[in-house]
Amino acid sequence: MSENTERIECLIIGSGPAGYTAAIYASRADLKPVMYTGLQMGGQLTTTTEVDNFPGYPNGTDGTMMMEDLKKQAERFGTDVRFGMITKVELSDKVGGIHKVIVDDSKEIEAESVIISTGATAKYLGLENEQRLIGGGVSACATCDGFFYKGQDVVVVGGGDTAAEEATYLAKLCKKVTMLVRRDEMRASKAMQHRVMSTENLEVLFNSELDDVLGENVVEGVRVVNNVSGEKHDIPVMGVFIAIGHKPNTDLFKGVIDMDDTGYIITEGKSTKTNIPGVFAAGDVQDKEYRQAVTAAGTGCMAALDAERYLGSLN
């Protein structure tokens, strides 16, 4: 090994609930894990101001504070948490093989096991005020944030199954839900379309797109444009839910690790094992169904246990 190469037992890539939970379990198992956080330390949850549905916080907590709590707990047991980005990987396909990664295009790490917890990124439209008000009324997760809009009017952007599910979920909590569908029909399954259309307090605006999000510090309304007539009108709402999909952060592993057609890592059965021996995947990077902090944490635990058993089998 060169002076710029480091050999470790367990490398964790990513620092959301999955990564930190994996770190807690791996460090308690004396695997001496090293975590590289990525550019967004703490992951998606750091963009959420209030977390009310994670067990153990009876009064709720702030997303950034929660991630800091998890980080401190991981470090308490000996996890080496480092700010840095994995820029290249060379994974061995042999049992007991050494996996090589490059950090920030310079440092080389050789790892006996790797836990991938790089998460997924919610897709947004890219509007200036939409980005500015994320956490101030703009959200990409109804099950995470819908509770805060009880009795309020909200907008859901999207026309697929995810948007339909988010809209019908919100309709149970909110006074009125308006769906903005950019085409003249929904892409959602017929069953989901029927559910949407049969929900009394849910209105669908076809050929409609989000033109702007209104409000200074919090969302106060949206400007909607009809993409056929070009006409614009404002709708007063308290919340805007963007439901146009997620992109798993797996580009680094394409062509090496088995993925589905949308880029989510495929794991074996009820385990976190990938098709590469000694490489495990946890959290939203392999979960497109639930995408919750608590389920991500659960798979982080599983990944660390899988890694511990894998390394133990080599001795």
Question: Residue range 233-237: average pLDDT?
Answer: 97
Q: Between these two residues, 144 and 155, which has the higher pLDDT value? A: 155
Instruction: Calculate the average pLDDT of the chain.
Output: 93
144 catalytic, yes or no?
A: yes
So what's the pLDDT on residue 49? 61
Report the C-alpha gap between 88 and 78 in whole angstroms.
26
So what's the pLDDT on residue 33? 98
So what's the pLDDT on residue 315? 76
174 catalytic, yes or no?
A: no
SS3 of the chain: CCCCEEEEEEEEECCCHHHHHHHHHHHHCCCCCEEECCCCCCHHHHHCCCECCCCCCCCCECHHHHHHHHHHHHHHCCCEEECCCEEEEECCCCCCCCEEEEECCCEEEEEEEEEECCCEEECCCCCHHHHHCECCCEECCHHHHHHHHCCCEEEEECCCHHHHHHHHHHHCCCCEEEEECCCCCCCCCHHHHHHHHCCCCEEEECCEEEEEEECCCCCCEEEEEECCCCCEEEECCCEEEECCCEEECCHHHCCCCCECCCCCECCCCCCCECCCCCEEECHHHCCCCCCCHHHHHHHHHHHHHHHHHHHHHCC
Q: Between these two residues, 202 and 49, which has the higher pLDDT value? A: 202
From the candidates 144, 174, 284, 306, which is the catalytic residue? 144
Whether the CB-CB separation of 157 and 164 falls below 8 Å is answered with no
Read off the pLDDT of residues 164-196 as tens digits, 9 standing for 90 and up.
989 999 999 999 999 999 999 999 889 889 999
From the candidates 10, 30, 80, 145, which is the catalytic residue? 145
What the block records as the tokens of 110 is 């050789």
Determine what percent of the chain is predicted with pLDDT higher than 90: 81
Whether the predicted pLDDT of 48 surpasses 80: no
From the candidates 69, 93, 104, 141, which is the catalytic residue? 141
Whether the CB-CB separation of 23 and 73 falls below 8 Å is answered with no
So what's the pLDDT on residue 4? 77
Q: Between these two residues, 292 and 35, which has the higher pLDDT value? A: 35
How many other CB atoms sit within 10 Å of the CB of residue 21?
28
Whether the predicted pLDDT of 63 surpasses 90: no
Four-residue CA torsion sign, 61, 63, 65, 70: positive
Tell me the backbone φ, ψ of residue 118, rounded to 5 degrees.
Answer: -80, -5
Among 37-41, 99-103, 114-118, the range scoring the smallest mean pLDDT is: 37-41
So what's the pLDDT on residue 3? 64
So what's the pLDDT on residue 279? 98
141 catalytic, yes or no?
A: yes
Question: Residue range 211-228: average pLDDT?
Answer: 96
